Amino acid sequence: MSLPTFEQPPRLTSTQWLICVIASIGFAFDIYELLMLPLIMRPALMELTGAAPGTPEFQMWVGRLFYIPAFVGGLVGMLGGYLTDRLGRRRVLTWSILLYAFSAFFAGFSTSIWMLLVLRCTTFIGVCVEFVAAVAWLAELFPNPRQREKVLGYTQAFSSIGGLLVAIAFELAVTHGAGWFTVAVPEFLTGLVGTVAVDHQHEAWRYTLMSGLIPAIPLILIRPFLPESPVWEQKRTSGTLRRPSIAEIFSPELRRTTIVTALMFACSYGAAFGAIQQLPQIVPGLADVKATVAAEVAKLELPKDPVAAKKMIMAKTRAIEAKVASQYTKMQEIGGLLGRFLLALFAVRIASRRSLLRIFQVPGLILMPAIFACFLLVENQTFFTINLDFMLLGKLPVTTMSIGVLIAGLFTVAQFSFWGNYLPQAYPVHLRGTGESFAANIGGRMIGTSFAWVTATIAGLEATPGGSAPMKFAYTAAGVALFVYVAGVTLSFFLPEQKPEMHHD
């Protein structure tokens, strides 16, 4: 079923293009900051805790770093949604981007796992608030329904560009970081409780964290030219803007929308964090990765000191595993980018929101568990390699597993763009930020991301089948993917359909 024909939208003005640019940057670095963690977690934990992958301490911190920042971000992000309705979209959007950018930068100087955890919490707070403010802002700046659907769909596609950028940044840091500037940790940080001696001042994970400062630069320059939402501003100046209320999103008229969207958002995040974001823990178990590690370690001229030799072997192993993980992250984000563009394309052609969502849910229900259950069992055959050095993407091997990762990204990541298009029409203006925030932050960030902790916890149990840590992660990720996709498809039958007209009241 197609959407009704609307009046031809006007061409975008220079100000509207500027708005789209800043929103795209915000969405891109939203995901940039989130997908940074799976890439940097393994080397950061090994340096800051000294724990080896697969040990109880390591698994405990994997769960903590995935879930505690998400929980804190979701909780405070709920307040951010309220403030978006109370103080305005532009102001909250600006400060949220500055918060996550500077938090990520200072996290690069972490001297303890606790310092990293605190700064990841403040990063997550900024990310959680930014998404809600940006979606509400864009939806109200483009009142024409077709233009609004396109703007929301295509600007959110830059989220996957952010995923590609962080994979590029991490691989560049792994490959060239030894020649970059030294990360000079301030002396006062070394006296904090739980700090460790920083032996390696060219660690890729530190550079990757610090690169999160990038979005603050254009924002500081562009902010004076950004308009406030005209709908929100008009209601505020006329005195007709009603006070936002968390209780009101549970009124009889909105209760079903609030509960169902929150649970379905949780399922979308559950698939991403409980399965796809566990790839860096899984890829070291691939036979070709282990063979590459063994071959490269054999070439090393090891020192006689056994401690120094062990450090050299570990550094080489981590570098190879990190490079492969970044390659798989790129493939996943390329799949996610395809999914987001398909969503943007279908959103203006399919009126039924349930049908639009199921285009991605149903295939994902079948393919996601199968991909992860077979990840380490199927021979990872290389078909060909795509050379994308000119785009800084490096050489992307197209293998049995990388194709699977691309497919997993396509069907899962597209669902995030769906919620960015759906939620602005689900609530009136004075509740838009609050309602979106409940679904995105309580449902997605707090409940959904907890599946990362679930996966890490189950994978760390002795009773979990698989034997090796990577195999246990693969089996657990498959089970989690099956659970959240079944739940998501079931809940879609209760998702309220929407009228194509914008709800302004």
The whole-number pLDDT of residue 499 equals 60
CA-nearest of 465, 267, 467, 437 to 365 is 267
The two tokens of residue 122 are: 């403040």
> H helices within 423-500, ranges in order?
432-437, 450-459, 469-492
CA distance 147 to 158: 17
Q: Residue 316: left (phi > 0), alpha (psi -120 to 50), or beta?
A: alpha
> Residue length, the chain?
505
Report DSSP state, residue 427. Answer: S
Q: Smallest Cα–Cα separation from 43: which of 215, 180, 189, 199? A: 199
Q: What is the CA radius of gyration of the chain?
A: 23
Q: Are 285 and 468 in contact (CB under 8 A)?
A: yes
Tens of pLDDT along the chain (505 residues) come to 444 444 566 777 887 888 888 888 878 887 888 778 878 888 888 888 888 877 888 888 887 887 888 888 888 888 888 888 888 888 888 888 888 888 988 888 888 889 899 999 999 888 888 878 888 888 788 877 778 888 888 888 888 888 788 878 888 888 777 767 666 666 655 555 445 555 556 788 888 888 888 877 777 777 667 787 788 888 888 887 778 788 899 999 999 999 999 999 999 999 998 999 888 888 888 888 888 888 888 888 888 888 888 888 888 887 888 778 878 888 888 898 899 889 988 888 888 889 999 999 999 999 999 999 998 888 788 888 887 776 666 778 888 888 999 999 999 999 988 998 898 888 888 888 888 889 988 898 889 988 988 998 899 888 998 888 889 999 999 999 999 999 999 999 999 987 654 444 4
SS3 (DSSP) at 398: strand
Residue 421 CA: distances (Å) to CA of 151, 358, 384, 492: 9, 15, 37, 16
Q: What is the pLDDT of residue 223?
A: 66
The CATH-assigned architecture of domain 14-225+242-492 is: Up-down Bundle (1.20)
HSE, side-chain direction, 13 A CA sphere, residue 17? 5
Backbone phi and psi for residue 68, each to the nearest 5 degrees, phi listed first: -60, -45
Residue 281 neighbours by CB under 8 Å, 6+ apart: 42, 53, 62, 459, 469, 470, 473
The pLDDT score that the predictor gives to residue 392 is: 65
Whether the CB-CB separation of 438 and 262 falls below 8 Å is answered with yes
Task: Compute φ and ψ for 12, nearest 5 degrees.
Answer: -70, 135
Q: How far is CA 465 from the centre of its chain?
A: 28
Give 468-473's long-range contacts (Cβ < 8 A, gap of 24+). 468/54, 468/285, 469/53, 469/54, 469/281, 469/285, 470/281, 470/282, 470/283, 470/284, 470/285, 470/286, 470/376, 471/285, 471/376, 473/278, 473/281, 473/282, 473/285
Q: Residues 387-434: pLDDT tens digits?
A: 777 666 677 888 888 899 999 999 999 998 899 889 888 888 888 888
pLDDT of residue 251: 92
Query: pLDDT tens digits for 143-195?
Result: 777 788 888 888 888 888 887 888 788 888 887 777 676 666 666 555 554 45
Which pLDDT does position 2 carry in this prediction? Answer: 45
SS3 label, residue 388 = strand
For residue 7, the model assigns a pLDDT of 55
The Cα 459–Cα 475 span in angstroms is 8
